Amino acid sequence: MGWPKHTETLKKFYPTTDLVTGPDIIFFWVARMIMAGIEYMGELPFRNVYYTGIIRDKNSEKMSKSLGNSPDPLALISGYGADALRFGIMRSVPLGQDLIFEDREFDRYGKDRYEFDRIAWNSARFPQLELARNFCNKLWNACRFRQMQGGEVQGEIESHRLRSDDKWILLKLHLCIKALDAAFAEYKFNDATKTLYDFFWGDYCDYYVEATKPVFQGTDPAKKASTLAVMDFVLSHLLRLFHPFLPFITEELWHGMGYAADMPAEQGGRTIMQAPWPKPFDADMRDHYSLDDCYLDFVNAKLHLIGLGRNLRKESKIADNIKVKFILKPAQDLPPNDIEVIRSLLNAESFVLEPEYQPRQGVASAHTSLGELYLPLEGLIDLEAELARLRKELEKIEAEITKVEQKLANPNFLKAPPNVVEEHRQRLADWLAKKAHVQKAIAGG
């Protein structure tokens, strides 16, 4: 760079901001760079030092070419893809910790890892990379689902057409961007990948995409266009958020989805690398789309109801492919769209709201914040066998209640730390609630 002369190149690159290195050379290299920089340049060469984790083999030995215990990166890229290799490693290593990088079928190659040949490494199976490869496939398929709905990239979202699920996913995106920015600011790249993974796989794919299917199966073109606009908005943000971790697949999808050509100039460009980094929604945007936190609570309540409904089916041993009828004694009004979404995600023949419903014997039930959920079992299972199961479960619950009551009645136990005593009191309250629920089911409501 021209040292000791103060050239333009030297001014440009010294000092810099960050140094990325391993913790094993802190003194041998990093400390010497700092001391030499102060001695010869009069200032620190960098302000931040990021210590990466060390990738180790099953024996906790540091992977290196000289030991012959490291895989061929080109072979891993060939088997899993460059994006999966990058994302899998980043997701597996928390800040400052090491990674044990091993083949899940290690024993079939023998105990001496150092004798592995290239063929063994090429055929090895690494769970971290398999998960990342599957994740890349999921991202591709999610974009493919959007393309299957047809139509060009949608423009501005029409706020008056937003459903509760649309507002929920937009709020979750807002929270995802905020959490991601915080993780980047603290160099917690593992947290960043986990935040993206949870939002995309859990919130977007597992719930929102499924919740859009009743809309796409319907006949209202305005609702379909509104839903597509939300999907385009979320996916265009997601691809930009994923780009630092998955640069190749996100660039391909950016063009394949049409964002490179159809997105406004301030949101995109000919390449995703020119697209601006997403920002959390400001107050004006949240007000414009009515993104109130109440929609987070409402959809979370729907998710809880759906989970309990699936548990009722599972506990009653009713196969998933059998269409059943669910009845909700509602605690509040539910819009028709939300009723249809719940029915679809419960895989039910019907989901009916009956404010005056009085259950009879042979009806499974669960309490939710949206109301009492019922699953009539008549004609689906052996009711006598189900009653026998419930009575047996009631015996177990009563036994647990007796144990906790005996502890709480013991003066010596009450001298335990307050948090321990409170934990047992809460446990007793939970068991009593379960007992009441089972007794109600046995009595038929």
CATH superfamily label, 149-288: Isoleucyl-tRNA Synthetase; Domain 1 (1.10.730.10)
Give pLDDT, residue 363. Answer: 83
- Residue 444 to residues 264, 331, 438: CA-CA distances in angstroms? 59, 20, 10
Q: Which residues in the chain land under pLDDT 50?
A: 104-123, 445
φ, ψ for residue 18 (rounded to 5)? -125, 150
Q: Burial of 256 by CB count in 10 Å (0-12 exposed, 13-18 middle, 19+ buried)?
A: middle
Confidence at residue 118, expressed as pLDDT on a 0 to 100 scale: 44
Rounded to an integer, what distance in angstroms lies between the CA atom of residue 373 and that of residue 92? 40
Query: CA-to-CA distance for 179 and 63, rounded, in angstroms?
Result: 33
Could you please report the per-residue DSSP string of 303-347? HHHHHHHHHHHHHTT--TTS--EEEEEESS---HHHHHHHHHHTT
Neighbours of 44 (CB within 10 A): 13
Q: What phi and psi, each to the nearest 5 degrees, are found at residue 20?
A: -105, 125
Strands (E), 342-439: 350-353, 363-368, 371-376
Answer whether 149-288 and 383-443 agree in fold: no
Q: What is the DSSP string of 157-221?
A: --GGG--HHHHHHHHHHHHHHHHHHHHHHTT-HHHHHHHHHIIIIIIIIIIIIHHHHHHHHSS-H
Residues near 287 by beta carbon (within 8 Å), at least 6 away in sequence: none
pTM of the prediction? Answer: 0.78
Topology of domain 383-443, CATH? Helix Hairpins (1.10.287)
Cβ proximity of 236 and 263 under 8 Å: yes
Query: E strand or H helix at 56, and its extent?
Result: strand 55-56
Residues 81 and 136 sit within 8 Å (Cβ to Cβ): yes
Angle at the Cα of 397 (from 393 to 403), degrees rounded to 5?
Answer: 150
Residues of 113-145 as b/e, b for ≥16 C-beta within 10 angstroms?
A: beebeeeebeebebebbeebbebbeebeebbeb
Of the chain, the end-to-end C-alpha distance in Å amounts to 81
Give the start-to-end residue ranges of the domains of the chain: 8-51, 55-129, 149-288, 294-376, 383-443
According to the model, what pLDDT value does residue 344 have?
A: 93
Interatomic CA distance for residues 211 and 339, integer angstroms: 11
CA distances to 72, 77, 172, 184, 348 from 244, in Å: 23, 17, 20, 11, 41
C-beta of residue 173 within 8 angstroms of C-beta of residue 234: yes
- b/e string for 269-283 if b means 16 or more Cβ within 10 A? beebeebeebeebee
Phi, psi of 62 (to 5 degrees): -65, 130
Beta strands 99-100; 55-56: pairing state? parallel
The residues facing 20 across adjacent strands are: 50
Q: What are the tokens at 426?
A: 């809460």
